Amino acid sequence: MKKYLSLFFLLAVVGFSCQDQSEDVMPSAASAPNKDKSPKGQMDMLTLSETGATQVSITITVTAGSTGAPAGFSLQWMTKEAYGMYGWDSNAPGYCQASFSGNANLSRYNLAAGQSVSVKVGEFLFDNGASTNCGDMLECGTEYVFRSFAHANSSLQRSAFSGDYMASTLNCTTSETCTYTQGYWKNHGPEGCASGNNTNMWPVRESLTTLGGVDYTDEILCSLLNTPAAGNAYLALAHQLIAAKLNVANGADATDVAALILAADAVLAGKVLPAASAKSSEAISALIDGLADYNEGATGPGHCN
């Protein structure tokens, strides 16, 4: 009996000793806290400002904070009237958003600390590589509300939203010799360029329209207008040049655009589109903006209501 009691006592002591030692052992790698799962920091908020407007577009300049926006940013907008009724509800009528990132065509949206970039909100989103649910022109004489946030990357979470920023398009025109945008001509042209119940409104011309001295039929011009620029600055320029020439042929005053048309034709001289391609440059961007200002009503007789 004493033999069994001694054995029981010995086993109890050993078990207690093992328990104490197990509590002193450091946790294994599997049970240790994962430092990689610790909360990330956050991108600094972006700031917004307006750097231009036409009757159908608003140019918004996005400026990054001290963290930059190395993965790009998103922009949201809606009319002030809709905002007053619904707030920032993604299901609200007229709610729009666009994503600008390094994967976009003509990309210049991955921002360093304090860097700024301007984006034209309106039809030009068709050509500047943004991913958007709203690629249509804005309404003339209308106030819009904008906000933005910097995208997350592997190091930092997305930023908080910027403050709400309000900006307006220019007032509508009453001119009878007004202009239309590239989007209008793209949707009111020959077969392939007449969406919905729209009819062909292209003016009758005595000869083929030339771009850079190269002749194009209406059908080819229509095809060009329906082809996103996809990083091709020549094609983005051609879109605005086609619209400008159609506006002039339609009776719009050409005083403010004649020199721009000549300069754009010189850039495209001898180049057959869409095969000819070029990256954007300051000179080409200036021509695109100048022609777009004419087509959209910031210059010239004004955009047709």
Per residue in 210-239, pLDDT (tens digit) is: 999 999 989 999 999 999 887 889 999 999
Alpha-helix runs per DSSP H in 105-211: 182-187
Within a domain: 113: yes
Please name the residues in contact with 302: beta carbons below 8 A apart, sequence gap of 6 or more: 55, 172, 173, 175, 178, 179
The identity of residue 42, as a single letter, is Q
| 226 and 291, same domain (yes or no) | yes
Residue 88 has pLDDT above 50, yes or no: yes
Same domain, 84 and 200: no
Averaged pLDDT for residues 60-84: 96
Reported as half-sphere exposure (CB side, CA atoms, 13 A), residue 116 has a value of: 11
Residue 212 lies in a domain: yes
Domain boundary among 140, 168, 196: 168
Q: In the structure encoding, which two tokens stand for residue 203, read together?
A: 């003016």
Q: Which of 159, 130, 134 is nearest to 147 (CA)?
A: 159
Can you list the alpha helix ranges (DSSP code H) found in the chain? 2-24, 80-86, 182-187, 218-225, 233-249, 258-267, 282-296
Do 48 and 163 reside in the same domain of the chain?
yes
Domain boundary (139, 168, 197) is at: 168
Q: Domain tally for the chain?
A: 2
53 and 131 belong to one structural domain: yes
Domain around 117: 41-168
In a domain, 198, yes or no: yes
CB 192 within 8 A of CB 222: yes
Residue 150 φ/ψ, nearest 5 degrees: -85, 135
Indicate if 50 and 160 belong to the same structural domain: yes
Write the CA distances from 166 to 31, 91, 206, integer angstroms. 52, 20, 46
Residue 194: closest CA among 225, 240, 170: 225
User: Are 218 and 113 found together in one domain?
Assistant: no
Residue with tokens 């996103």: 228
In this structure, what are the phi and psi dihedrals at residue 299, rounded to the nearest 5 degrees?
Answer: -125, 175
Is residue 35 situated within a structural domain?
no
* pLDDT band at 107; cut points 50, 70, 90: low
pTM strictly above 0.75: yes
Residue 16 domain-assigned?
no
User: Out of 99-108, 135-144, 220-229, 286-295, which region has the weakest mean confidence (pLDDT)?
Assistant: 99-108
Query: Which is nearest to 271 in space by CA: 284, 254, 255?
Result: 284
pLDDT tens, residue by residue, 39-67: 679 999 999 999 999 999 999 999 999 99
State the CATH number of the domain containing residue 147. Answer: 2.60.40.10
Boundary residue ending a domain (142, 168, 194): 168
